[in-house]
Protein backbone atom coordinates (compact mmCIF):
# COMPACT_ATOMS: atom_id res chain seq x y z
CA UNK A 1 0.00 0.00 0.00
CA UNK A 2 1.00 3.57 -0.54
CA UNK A 3 0.76 6.69 1.58
CA UNK A 4 1.15 10.34 0.69
CA UNK A 5 2.45 13.05 3.00
CA UNK A 6 2.29 16.80 2.55
CA UNK A 7 4.59 18.99 4.63
CA UNK A 8 3.35 22.47 5.50
CA UNK A 9 4.14 25.32 5.23
CA UNK A 10 6.49 24.20 2.42
CA UNK A 11 3.67 22.42 0.54
CA UNK A 12 6.05 19.63 -0.43
CA UNK A 13 4.70 16.11 -0.81
CA UNK A 14 6.02 12.59 -1.19
CA UNK A 15 4.44 9.25 -1.96
CA UNK A 16 5.90 6.43 0.11
CA UNK A 17 5.26 2.81 0.96
CA UNK A 18 3.12 1.90 3.92
CA UNK A 19 5.38 1.44 6.97
CA UNK A 20 7.54 4.46 6.19
CA UNK A 21 8.10 6.94 9.01
CA UNK A 22 7.22 10.60 8.62
CA UNK A 23 10.94 11.39 8.95
CA UNK A 24 11.79 9.08 6.03
CA UNK A 25 8.97 10.61 3.99
CA UNK A 26 10.32 14.09 4.75
CA UNK A 27 13.72 13.13 3.41
CA UNK A 28 12.11 11.75 0.26
CA UNK A 29 10.21 15.03 -0.15
CA UNK A 30 13.42 17.04 0.33
CA UNK A 31 12.23 18.45 3.63
CA UNK A 32 14.82 18.88 6.38
CA UNK A 33 13.76 17.84 9.87
CA UNK A 34 16.46 18.26 12.49
CA UNK A 35 17.56 15.15 14.35
CA UNK A 36 20.38 14.37 16.71
CA UNK A 37 19.61 10.80 17.73
CA UNK A 38 19.33 9.25 14.28
CA UNK A 39 15.64 8.44 14.70
CA UNK A 40 15.83 6.64 18.04
CA UNK A 41 13.19 8.71 19.85
CA UNK A 42 15.69 10.22 22.24
CA UNK A 43 16.59 13.73 21.03
CA UNK A 44 13.02 15.11 20.81
CA UNK A 45 14.10 17.36 17.91
CA UNK A 46 11.82 15.90 15.23
CA UNK A 47 8.54 17.07 16.76
CA UNK A 48 5.85 17.83 14.18
CA UNK A 49 2.14 18.58 14.36
CA UNK A 50 -0.27 16.12 12.77
CA UNK A 51 -3.92 16.91 13.23
CA UNK A 52 -5.39 13.76 11.70
CA UNK A 53 -3.74 10.56 12.93
CA UNK A 54 -6.18 8.21 11.16
CA UNK A 55 -3.60 7.25 8.53
CA UNK A 56 -0.86 6.59 11.09
CA UNK A 57 -0.05 3.41 12.98
CA UNK A 58 -0.84 3.58 16.72
CA UNK A 59 1.74 5.35 18.86
CA UNK A 60 4.29 3.00 20.47
CA UNK A 61 5.30 3.20 24.14
CA UNK A 62 8.64 4.97 23.57
CA UNK A 63 6.98 7.80 21.63
CA UNK A 64 4.11 7.99 24.15
CA UNK A 65 6.61 8.34 27.01
CA UNK A 66 8.54 11.07 25.18
CA UNK A 67 5.40 13.06 24.44
CA UNK A 68 3.86 12.77 27.92
CA UNK A 69 2.05 16.00 28.64
CA UNK A 70 1.65 16.89 24.96
CA UNK A 71 -1.21 14.47 24.25
CA UNK A 72 -3.67 17.24 23.37
CA UNK A 73 -1.31 19.14 21.06
CA UNK A 74 -1.31 16.79 18.03
CA UNK A 75 2.45 16.48 18.46
CA UNK A 76 4.20 13.42 17.08
CA UNK A 77 7.83 12.44 16.68
CA UNK A 78 8.51 12.27 12.94
CA UNK A 79 11.00 9.44 13.50
CA UNK A 80 8.37 7.29 15.24
CA UNK A 81 5.14 8.16 13.43
CA UNK A 82 4.56 5.38 10.89
CA UNK A 83 2.38 5.98 7.84
CA UNK A 84 -0.24 3.36 7.02
CA UNK A 85 -2.03 4.62 3.90
CA UNK A 86 -3.93 7.59 2.55
CA UNK A 87 -2.94 11.22 2.78
CA UNK A 88 -1.41 12.79 5.90
CA UNK A 89 -0.71 16.50 6.40
CA UNK A 90 2.27 17.35 8.58
CA UNK A 91 2.84 20.84 9.99
CA UNK A 92 6.54 21.56 10.46
CA UNK A 93 7.71 23.68 13.39
CA UNK A 94 9.06 27.15 12.65
CA UNK A 95 12.71 27.22 11.61
CA UNK A 96 14.60 28.26 14.79
CA UNK A 97 17.17 30.33 12.86
CA UNK A 98 14.51 32.27 10.97
CA UNK A 99 12.57 32.81 14.20
CA UNK A 100 15.72 34.17 15.92
CA UNK A 101 16.42 36.52 13.00
CA UNK A 102 12.80 37.72 12.98
CA UNK A 103 12.98 38.46 16.74
CA UNK A 104 16.25 40.38 16.29
CA UNK A 105 14.83 42.43 13.40
CA UNK A 106 11.74 43.26 15.43
CA UNK A 107 13.93 44.39 18.36
CA UNK A 108 15.97 46.63 16.06
CA UNK A 109 12.81 48.14 14.57
CA UNK A 110 11.48 48.84 18.06
CA UNK A 111 14.78 50.51 19.02
CA UNK A 112 14.77 52.56 15.78
CA UNK A 113 11.29 53.92 16.53
CA UNK A 114 12.52 55.19 19.90
CA UNK A 115 14.99 57.57 18.22
S1 LIG B 1 15.01 11.98 15.57
FE2 LIG B 1 15.47 12.13 17.66
S3 LIG B 1 13.55 11.93 18.60
FE4 LIG B 1 13.10 11.74 16.53
Q: What is the CATH number of the domain that holds 67?
A: 3.10.20.30
If one counts the domains in the chain, the total is 1
Tell me how far the alpha carbon of residue 88 lies from the centroid of ligand 1, in angstroms.
Answer: 19
45 lines ligand 1 (CB under 6 A): yes
| pLDDT tens for each residue of the chain, 115 residues long | 899 999 999 999 999 999 999 999 999 999 999 899 999 999 999 999 999 999 999 999 999 999 998 877 899 999 999 999 999 999 998 877 777 787 888 898 888 887 7
Domain that holds residue 96: 2-114
For residue 77 and ligand 1, the question of a CB distance below 6 A is answered with: yes
Query: CB under 8 Å to 89, separation ≥6 — which residues?
Result: 5, 6, 8, 50, 51, 52
Length of the chain: 115
Amino acid sequence: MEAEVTFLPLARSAKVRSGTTVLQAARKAGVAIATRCGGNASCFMCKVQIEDWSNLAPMKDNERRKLAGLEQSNTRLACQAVLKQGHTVVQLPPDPFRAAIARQLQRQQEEDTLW
